[in-house]
Amino acid sequence: MAEEIKEDIKDQVEEKSDEKIEAKEAKETKKEKKEKKSKEQEKIEKLEVEIAKLKEENAKLKNEYLKAHADSQNFQKRINDQAIKDRKYASQGVIGELINPIDMLIQIVNMPAPSPEIQNYVIGFQMITNQLTDILKNEGLAPIEAKVGKEFDPNKMQAVETSNDESMEDNVITKVMQPGYMYKDRVLRPAMVVVNKKVVKEETKEGKEEE
């Protein structure tokens, strides 16, 4: 009987010892889990910081790429526009050099011939002049419409003198000194004109009182 009691006590002691060990192990496991969780949370936070930095760098690089792409597109557009302009106005330099000789030819062929023989030469020069003006017209040359009585246009004309003609309106052309020309949509040479400027008469104080 005593032996049985002794065995029971021993078993109870061992059970309690095992329970203590299990409790201790459970406690240690819980602590380890907490530490592990804390470390994992720390890693997650670090990764989130890294991800945020990478997103920021990615956004910055994307903006730089878009800006560089836009600059490249604008540069290419400017190059294309310039190439189109160069082709469009390719003959401007040559035509600009020709307008003075053409003007002189026009003046010569419009002068009265002193004899029938010279008149025959004038007719030939007239034909040549017409051919040249037609060629230049086809290339885009056009005379600026500057006529006596027409309103002065400062964008296409240059006033070299002013006149005071009471019979004409203010700011109109009274004389064309030199014809002007347009090359396509550009002013190749402005028309040199005389512009009418009326003098405004100021009434005197005495004159007003008499009225």
| Same domain for 120 and 101 | yes
Domain presence at residue 208: no
159-167 long-range Cβ contacts below 8 angstroms, 24+ apart: 159/193, 159/194, 159/195, 160/192, 160/193, 160/194, 161/194, 161/195, 162/194, 162/195, 162/196, 162/197, 163/194, 163/195, 163/196, 163/197, 164/196, 164/197, 164/198, 164/199, 165/196, 166/198
| Same domain for 109 and 72 | no
Domain presence at residue 206: no
Q: Which position has the higher pLDDT, 34 or 85? A: 85
Range of the domain at 42: 1-88
| Same domain for 97 and 163 | no
| Same domain for 61 and 26 | yes
Query: What's the pTM?
Result: 0.59
Q: Using only C-alpha atoms, what is the Rg of the chain?
A: 50
| Same domain for 97 and 133 | yes
Q: Which position has the higher pLDDT, 154 or 202? A: 154
Tell whether the model's pLDDT for residue 156 goes beyond 70.
yes
| Same domain for 14 and 73 | yes
Interval 19-30 mean pLDDT: 64
User: What CATH code is carried by the domain that includes residue 184?
Assistant: 2.30.22.10
Q: How many domains does the chain have?
A: 3
Q: CA–CA separation, 90 vs 190, rounded Å?
A: 20
Tell whether the model's pLDDT for residue 153 goes beyond 80.
yes
| Same domain for 102 and 51 | no
> How many other β-carbons are positioned within 10 Å of the β-carbon of residue 190?
19
| Same domain for 66 and 94 | no
pLDDT in tens, 107-138: 888 888 888 888 888 888 889 899 999 999 99
Tell whether the model's pLDDT for residue 144 goes beyond 90.
yes
| Same domain for 110 and 80 | no
| Same domain for 184 and 123 | no
Tell whether the model's pLDDT for residue 47 goes beyond 80.
yes
Domain presence at residue 51: yes
Task: Give helix then strand counts, H and E, for the chain.
Answer: 4, 6
Domain presence at residue 205: no
Domain presence at residue 174: yes
| Same domain for 25 and 83 | yes
| Same domain for 121 and 105 | yes
Domain presence at residue 207: no
Pairing state between β 157-163 and 173-178: unpaired
Domain presence at residue 187: yes
Q: CA–CA separation, 20 vs 185, rounded Å?
A: 103
The per-residue pLDDT for 91 is: 85
Tell whether the model's pLDDT for residue 90 goes beyond 90.
no
Domain presence at residue 123: yes
Q: Which position has the higher pLDDT, 16 or 133? A: 133
Q: CA–CA separation, 168 vs 197, rounded Å?
A: 9
Tell whether the model's pLDDT for residue 43 goes beyond 70.
yes
